[in-house]
Chain A
Amino acid sequence: DAGVIQSPRHEVTEMGQEVTLRCKPISGHDYLFWYRQTMMRGLELLIYFNNNVPIDDSGMPEDRFSAKMPNASFSTLKIQPSEPRDSAVYFCASRPAKEVTEAFFGQGTRLTVV
């Protein structure tokens, strides 16, 4: 398996523009997670899905952020409008439905909003 695949790897955009980050989880994994990593706050959970259904979005910073999972093999995280404080590395991770098991991370998308 190719692992969790994220695109793009790097994104530079101007303040106010819409940004869409993409993720393909590992085939057969029932859970998909979106995290954001910054130096100040570390790795923060934004939202996660179980079988394509959003379970907990309490980590989404504000209404400018939205996430979707239209099918088992694809998810998007959208920021509209983007702001400089959104600059961070965004990670997608997935895991199977087994009771307690590790999550597998993608390589991340480094977002810079100027």
Chain B
Amino acid sequence: EDQVTQSPEALRLQEGESSSLNCSYTVSGLRGLFWYRQDPGKGPEFLFTLYSAGEEKEKERLKATLTKKESFLHITAPKPEDSATYLCAVPGVNSNSGYALNFGKGTSLLVTP
């Protein structure tokens, strides 16, 4: 069964203190890895999709990278507004009609001033 594991569960950073979040996956034939951001009381909001090992994507202070076994979400010089839960997901296997995303439990990030 496909598995997505995120670490750490929670992370507290000082403003400006760079760090990385990890998403490891076990899936045969990865068709994409998705990162989402979720703010309290809201639905997950799409950030990135990575399709192959070595691929990188950036958005403001966030950079996502992908290897054959895991993905990292690097946060450079974070600001308090980056505080959120970050979720990663992979497409589940479905033989006939498309797929649904299987999510990890997320990393709750708190950035303090």
Which single residue of chain B is at the shortest CB-CB distance from A102? B46
Determine if A55 and B49 form an interchain contact, defined as CB atoms under 8 angstroms apart.
Answer: no
Give the A-B pair count, Cβ closer than 8 A: 59
Which single residue of chain B is at the shortest CB-CB distance from A42? B105
Which secondary structure dominates chain A's binding surface?
strand
Determine if B105 and A107 form an interchain contact, defined as CB atoms under 8 angstroms apart.
Answer: no
Chain B, interface residues (CB within 8 Å), range: 20 to 34
Determine if A108 and B98 form an interchain contact, defined as CB atoms under 8 angstroms apart.
Answer: no
B7 contacts chain A at the CB level, 8 A cutoff: no
Task: Please judge, given known A-B contacts A100-B91, A102-B34, whether A33 and B100 are in contact too, CB under 8 Å.
Answer: yes
Give A56 to B92 CA distance when docked, in angstroms: 11
Determine if B94 and A43 form an interchain contact, defined as CB atoms under 8 angstroms apart.
Answer: no
Within 8 A of A (CB), among B95-111: 96-106
